[in-house]
Structure 1
Amino acid sequence: MQETGATGRGGARGGVGRGIGPRASEDRGRLDRQGLPVRQVLSATSLAAAEVLAGREGLERPVERLNVMEVPDILPWVKPREFLLTTAYPLREDPERLPGLVAQLADRGLAGMGVKMGRYLDDLPSGLLDVADELAFPIVRLPDHVGFDDILNEVLTEILNRQASVLARSEETHRALLQIALSGGGWPEIARDLSELLESAVLLSDADRTVQAAAGLDGLKGALRDEGILEGTTVLATDIAAELDRSGPGAEVGRGSVRAIGAPIRAGARLHGRILTVEGARELDAGDVIALENAATVAALVVTKEAAVAAVESKYAADFLHDLIAGRVADETDVATRASALGWQLDRPLVTLVAAPEPSAPGPDDDLTERTAAALRTAVLPGDPGAAVVPLSGSVVVLAGAPDTADETRRLASTLASEGRENAGRPIGIGVSRPVDGALELATSYEQAERALRIGREIAGAGAVAHFDDLGADRLLSLIPDQEELRAFADEVLGPVAGEAPDDRELRRTLLVLLEEHLNVAASARRLHVHYNTLRYRIDKLERLLGPFTSDPRLRLDLQLGLRILPRFRLVPPRD
Structure 2
Amino acid sequence: MSDVMNRRGLTIKGLLELEPLEGARLVAGYTNVNQVISRVNIVGSPDVLNFVRPQEFMMTTGYPFRDHVEELVDLLPQLKEKNVAGVGIKVQRFIDEIPQSFIEKANELHFPVVEILPTAVFSDIVRVAMEEVFYQESEHLMTLYNRVQECTKQMAAGKEIRDVIYHLEELMGNPVVVYDFDRTIIAPLFEDVLEEFELRKTVQALETKAGSGIRGIKIRDETFSCIAIPLTSETTLSHTAFIACIETNYELTEVDCLTIEKMSTMLNMELANIAARKQIEKRYMNQFLKDVLLGEVTSDVDMEIRTQSLDLDFERKWYQVFIMDVKDKGALKEEFTYMVSTLSKAIKGQLYGTVLLGEFTFLLIDHTKKSLERSFGLIQKEVDRFTSYKNMQESYTLCVGDHVHDIKNIQESYHKAVKVNTIRQQYTTDKKVIHYQDLHLYRLLYLIPEGTEVIQYTEEILGVLERASKKSVNYIETLEAYFQANRNIRVTAETLYTHYNTVVYRMEKISSLLNVDIDDPEVSLELQVALKLRKMNQSQMKKVKPLAQRKYS
Q: TM-score of the superposition, structure 2-length normalised?
A: 0.70
- Corresponding residue of 2:188: 213
Q: Distance in 1 between matches of 2:253 and 2:30?
A: 21
Q: Give 1:445-484 correspondences, 5 Å limit.
A: 446=414, 448-450=416-418, 452-453=420-421, 456=424, 459-460=427-428, 464-468=432-436, 470=439, 471-472=442-443, 475=446
Deviation at 1:266, TM superposition (A): 4.2
- Corresponding residue of 1:264: 228
Which residue, 487, 509, 512 being the options, matches 2:481? 509
Partner AA of 1:116 in structure 2: K
- Corresponding residue of 1:13: none
**Is the CA contact (8 Å cut-off) linking 2:426 and 2:536 kept in structure 1?**
no
Q: Deviations over 1:229-275 (max 9, x none)?
A: x6899859959965994797887999xxx999754364125344644
Q: Deviations over 1:271-330 (max 9, x none)?
A: 4464457658xx997766666666677677766655444333222211222344566542
Partner AA of 2:304 in structure 1: A
Q: SS at 1:472's partner residue?
A: helix
Q: SS at 1:130's partner residue?
A: helix
- Corresponding residue of 2:548: none
Q: Distance in 1 between matches of 2:430 and 2:228?
A: 37
Partner AA of 2:343 in structure 1: L
Partner AA of 1:509 in structure 2: A
Change in Cα spacing, 1:346 to 1:391, as seen in structure 2 (3 Å) is farther
**Is the CA contact (8 Å cut-off) linking 2:340 and 2:352 kept in structure 1?**
no
Partner AA of 2:381 in structure 1: S
- Corresponding residue of 2:345: 378
Deviation at 1:127, TM superposition (A): 3.2
- Corresponding residue of 2:497: none
Which residue, 432, 441, 466 being the options, matches 2:400? 432
- Corresponding residue of 1:354: 323
Which residue, 123, 127, 144 being the options, matches 1:170? 144
Change in Cα spacing, 1:478 to 1:297, as seen in structure 2 (3 Å) is farther
- Corresponding residue of 1:321: 289
- Corresponding residue of 1:331: 299
Q: Distance in 1 between matches of 2:372 and 2:464?
A: 35
Q: Distance in 1 between matches of 2:283 and 2:377?
A: 28
Q: SS at 2:84's partner residue?
A: coil
Q: Distance in 1 between matches of 2:429 and 2:5?
A: 54
- Corresponding residue of 1:143: 117
Q: Deviations over 1:83-127 (max 9, x none)?
A: 122344455565434333211222332211122345554555563
Q: Distance in 2 between matches of 1:443 and 1:502?
A: 43
Say which is worse superposed, 484-493 or 174-183, in terms of deviation: 484-493
**Is the CA contact (8 Å cut-off) linking 2:5 and 2:136 kept in structure 1?**
no
Q: Distance in 2 between matches of 1:499 and 1:403?
A: 57
Deviation at 1:161, TM superposition (A): 0.8
The answer on 1:422 being equivalent to 2:391 is: no
Partner AA of 2:22 in structure 1: A
- Corresponding residue of 2:29: 55
- Corresponding residue of 2:546: none
Q: Deviations over 1:54-95 (max 9, x none)?
A: 112111111112234355454455432111223444555654
Q: Distance in 2 between matches of 1:478 and 1:131?
A: 94
Change in Cα spacing, 1:252 to 1:371, as seen in structure 2 (3 Å) is closer
Q: Distance in 2 between matches of 1:81 and 1:486?
A: 91
Q: SS at 2:330's partner residue?
A: coil
Q: Distance in 2 between matches of 1:67 and 1:478?
A: 96
Say which is worse superposed, 442-451 or 169-178, in terms of deviation: 442-451
**Is the CA contact (8 Å cut-off) linking 1:69 and 1:85 kept in structure 2?**
yes
Deviation at 1:479, TM superposition (A): 7.3
- Corresponding residue of 1:103: 77
C-alpha RMSD over aligned residues? 5.5
Deviation at 1:537, TM superposition (A): 8.3
**Is the CA contact (8 Å cut-off) linking 2:475 and 2:510 kept in structure 1?**
no
Change in Cα spacing, 1:31 to 1:236, as seen in structure 2 (3 Å) is farther
Q: SS at 2:280's partner residue?
A: helix
The answer on 1:81 being equivalent to 2:52 is: no
Change in Cα spacing, 1:124 to 1:348, as seen in structure 2 (3 Å) is closer
Say which is worse superposed, 504-513 or 94-103, in terms of deviation: 504-513
**Is the CA contact (8 Å cut-off) linking 1:260 and 1:279 kept in structure 2?**
no
Q: Deviations over 1:412-432 (max 9, x none)?
A: 766534321212422342223
- Corresponding residue of 1:397: 361
Partner AA of 1:389 in structure 2: G
Q: Deviations over 1:24-64 (max 9, x none)?
A: xxxxx999742211110122222223232211211111111
Say which is worse superposed, 79-88 or 156-165, in terms of deviation: 79-88
- Corresponding residue of 2:551: none
Change in Cα spacing, 1:564 to 1:391, as seen in structure 2 (3 Å) is closer
Q: SS at 1:430's partner residue?
A: strand
**Is the CA contact (8 Å cut-off) linking 1:187 and 1:213 kept in structure 2?**
no
Partner AA of 1:268 in structure 2: T
Q: Distance in 1 between matches of 2:460 and 2:126?
A: 96
Say which is worse superposed, 330-339 or 346-355, in terms of deviation: 346-355
Q: Distance in 2 between matches of 1:76 and 1:463?
A: 77
Q: TM-score of the superposition, structure 1-length normalised?
A: 0.67
Q: SS at 1:127's partner residue?
A: helix
Q: Distance in 1 between matches of 2:118 and 2:260?
A: 42
- Corresponding residue of 2:129: 155
Unaligned runs of 5+ in 1: 1-28, 222-229, 515-520, 570-576
Say which is worse superposed, 135-144 or 36-45, in terms of deviation: 135-144
Change in Cα spacing, 1:234 to 1:104, as seen in structure 2 (3 Å) is same
The answer on 1:182 being equivalent to 2:156 is: yes
Q: Distance in 2 between matches of 1:167 and 1:293?
A: 14
Deviation at 1:390, TM superposition (A): 3.8
**Is the CA contact (8 Å cut-off) linking 2:243 and 2:260 kept in structure 1?**
no
Deviation at 1:353, TM superposition (A): 1.1
Which residue, 531, 534, 543 being the options, matches 1:559? 531
The answer on 1:310 being equivalent to 2:302 is: no
Change in Cα spacing, 1:396 to 1:313, as seen in structure 2 (3 Å) is farther
Q: Distance in 2 between matches of 1:546 and 1:120?
A: 117
Deviation at 1:449, TM superposition (A): 2.8
- Corresponding residue of 1:23: none
Q: Deviations over 1:6-35 (max 9, x none)?
A: xxxxxxxxxxxxxxxxxxxxxxx9997422
Partner AA of 1:310 in structure 2: K
**Is the CA contact (8 Å cut-off) linking 1:69 and 1:84 kept in structure 2?**
yes
